[in-house]
């Protein structure tokens, strides 16, 4: 038996009511932060009128209850603490509908990605550098999966051609 998530859909007369839209949006925002487009989609999927949702989201943005820049910075900080790299984080932020400028700014204000890649490699494989190309390739695949760029991976595994 498959379980389905029960979405609370609103009735027809409340779907265009800005008060009901605001109450639903604030209830969602009280649980966690959302990107504007993500919250927009969630409210639309619950049956609210698109025009009412747009008006309410503009008001919430003006009140700074909804802030895409803050969302992006918090997202980068949280996922960097989970040892994920900038490529993976940027891809997830794009899926949440954030603008490229916001993503770039949030990643630039993030941690030192080279140091994070090195510490991620050390945490998984130990302090000893890889001794063979096969082991370097294995560690590189792991770091690539975690979302680090090729520059970060080369520096973390010691496979930088400038160092050889």
For residues 119 and 86, state if they share a domain.
no
For residues 53 and 75, state if they share a domain.
no
Which CATH number belongs to the domain containing residue 99 in this structure?
Answer: 1.10.10
For residues 149 and 129, state if they share a domain.
yes
Question: Is 7 within a domain?
Answer: no
Give residue 158's pLDDT: 84
Question: Is 2 within a domain?
Answer: no
For residues 120 and 152, state if they share a domain.
yes
pLDDT tens, residue order, the chain (164 aa): 454 455 566 666 677 888 999 999 999 999 999 999 999 999 999 999 999 999 999 999 999 999 999 999 999 999 999 999 999 999 999 999 999 999 999 999 999 999 999 999 999 999 999 999 999 999 999 999 999 999 999 999 986 555 44
Give the domain range for residue 87: 68-108
Q: CA dist 53 to 14, 75, 104, Å?
A: 12, 24, 28
Question: Is 9 within a domain?
Answer: no
Q: Rounded to the nearest 5°, which phi and psi values hold at 84?
A: -100, 150
Region of residue 110 (left: phi > 0; alpha: psi -120 to 50; beta: else): beta
Give residue 13's pLDDT: 67
Give residue 8's pLDDT: 65
How far apart are the C-alpha atoms of 139 and 135, rounded to whole Å? 6
Give residue 159's pLDDT: 64
For residues 51 and 27, state if they share a domain.
yes
For residues 119 and 152, state if they share a domain.
yes
Give residue 164's pLDDT: 42
Question: Is 49 within a domain?
Answer: yes
For residues 103 and 123, state if they share a domain.
no
Domain count, the chain: 3
Residue 155, helix vs strand vs coil:
helix
Question: Is 101 within a domain?
Answer: yes
Mutual angle of helices 150-157 and 133-146, in 10-degree steps: 140
């Amino acid at each position: 038996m498959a379980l389905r998530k029960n979405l609370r859909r609103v009735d027809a007369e409340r779907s265009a009511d800005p008060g009901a839209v605001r109450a639903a949006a604030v209830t969602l925002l009280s649980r966690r932060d959302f990107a504007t487009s993500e919250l927009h989609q969630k409210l639309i999927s619950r049956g609210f009128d698109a025009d009412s949702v747009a008006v309410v989201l503009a008001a919430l943005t003006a009140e700074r209850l909804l802030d895409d820049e803050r969302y992006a910075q918090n997202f980068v900080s949280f996922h960097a603490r989970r040892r994920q790299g900038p490529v993976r984080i940027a891809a997830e932020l794009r899926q949440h509908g954030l603008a490229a400028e916001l993503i770039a700014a949030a990643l630039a204000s993030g941690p030192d990605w080279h140091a994070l890649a090195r510490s991620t490699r050390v945490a998984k494989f130990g302090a000893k550098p890889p001794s063979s190309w096969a082991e370097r390739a294995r560690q590189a695949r792991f770091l690539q999966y975690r979302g680090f760029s090729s520059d970060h991976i080369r520096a973390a595994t010691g496979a930088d051609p400038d160092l050889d």
